[in-house]
Chains A and B, each alone.
Chain A
Amino acid sequence: MLSQEEIQNINSSLRTMLKENGFDWVLAQVEDEILRGREQTVSVKEIDLNEAYFDVLEKKSISNEKFVIAEAYSIEEELQLLLNAIAKGICEPYQMANSALDFISTSVEGKPEFILASERPGEEVSISAGQLQLLREKALKLSELIREIQNDLNNANTE
């Protein structure tokens, strides 16, 4: 079973790697989600209220009301969020590009190339099947490695 310390270490190693390789934006979006917390709609009975305050409130008057609460994620959940984000933001885009290029190739002669271009000259990013071929294999490998850690985490939770 993974200890809290191991989970913490994996989390911090992944964060460092993302920063070092220019994937800070993945981290930023995960941080936003962690800050928001896990939202849930619960009845007042399920909220951990200070007992003294509860007495003042006259709990009967609000016992049927629903409230939205945000709970902090556990460190396992934070790691899961980070692993999911790596899969979504770094691995899946290769499948996405491939799917769109493949479909478009059925309507043009030759291999299509997408140019993502702003109106300003020189600002463009090219995406073609040829460029992506090798990287797609790397992305696939990364998703397998991510899945391996996710499985370890899930097994640790069920043990």
Chain B
Amino acid sequence: MPIRNDILVEIGSTLGSLAGSNLNSYSALDNLYEVYIFSLILRACRNQGGHFTLRNITATHRGTRMYFRTAPGYISSTTRNYTYADLNFVNKPPLEAHVSIRCTGQSTVLHEADVCVLFKSEAELCRMARARVAPKSAKIIITAETKFYTAALGLHLGRSFLGLVSDFSSDFPIFITNTNSDSIEKLLSKRGKHWEHKITPSNVGDVNRLIGIFETAFKGFKAKH
């Protein structure tokens, strides 16, 4: 059966009405994806019996406007009051979850963590310092490398993740994407690295599995500390 004639006209007009949206640029969507994964980490914290509070750099968060970085930056900022989350488990060292921050690898080279969870003591140290200080990867519990794409990912993205984790002593590095890539999945599986694909709200099973993986990371943290 041929497609109906007016379907392309309808698609054209719908695309036109979405063109002016704040969600029509790739950079905004890539950043939004990090915020979405950040929200899944908060869900996992809550599922594991933890409690989270949203804060910003200068004080407890009281408003409804939450600022997230569009490029990797330091935990402290004098220009923006960026948002992060305090994560607390009873009788355990407090943690923080951040979006898009710089951190230091074992080689003392600066890397970027798209979404991460680290010890609050390390984050406080970075916030209080006069200079801009990056947290050490050894103090990071979860590091998520997130990739939002509309097509299959190129292998170079998997290779750069392997490069990142080779210099990271973070407990739990994971590669997360909304799409998929057979070659990256094969590469990371053979190297024993965590990855999750097709992570979008419509893929409920995949999202629940990822939340479960974050819960396992929190469970490990609680057992160790």
Contact = CB atoms under 8 A, between A and B. Distances in A.
B67 A155 contact: no
Contacts of B54: 104, 107-108
Given A30-B151, A107-B54, A145 B7 contact: yes
A84 B26 CA distance: 16
A119 interface: yes
Given A22-B19, A90-B15, A115-B66, A96 B33 contact: yes
A145 B11 contact: yes
Given A39-B182, A148-B3, A103 B67 contact: no
7 contacts: A95-B200, A100-B38, A104-B39, A107-B42, A107-B52, A111-B64, A152-B2
Interface in A109-158: 109-121, 123-127, 131-132, 135, 138-139, 141-142, 145-146, 148-149, 152, 155
Interface in B135-154: 149-152, 154
A114 B32 contact: yes
Contacts of A8: none
B18 A21 contact: yes
B43 interface: yes
Interface residues of A, number: 69
Secondary structure class of chain B's binding surface, majority of residues: mixed
4 interchain residue pairs of minimum CB distance = A89-B150, A85-B150, A33-B151, A21-B19
A88 B10 CA distance: 19
B169 interface: no
Interface of A: 2, 6, 10, 13-14, 17-18, 21-23, 25-26, 29-30, 32-33, 36, 39, 81, 84-86, 88-90, 92-100, 103-104, 107-121, 123-127, 131-132, 135, 138-139, 141-142, 145-146, 148-149, 152, 155
Given A32-B154, A152-B1, A118 B14 contact: no
B15 A125 contact: no
Given A96-B32, A100-B35, A118-B69, 18 more contacts: A17-B12, A22-B25, A23-B19, A33-B152, A88-B179, A100-B36, A104-B42, A112-B66, A115-B65, A115-B67, A117-B68, A117-B69, A117-B70, A117-B80, A125-B25, A126-B22, A127-B23, A145-B11
Given A115-B65, A121-B79, A145-B10, A139 B18 contact: yes
A103 B22 contact: no
Contacts of A29: 149-151
B198 to A, nearest CB: 10
A115 B28 CA distance: 10
A26 B39 contact: no
B64 to A, nearest CB: 4
Interface string B43-86: 10000000011100000010111111111010001011010000
B223 interface: no
Given A103-B43, A104-B39, A113-B66, A138 B17 contact: yes
A2 B2 CA distance: 6
A109 to B, nearest CB: 8
Nearest to A153: B3
Contacts of A104: 39, 42, 54, 66
Given A114-B66, A142-B15, A152-B1, A103 B200 contact: no
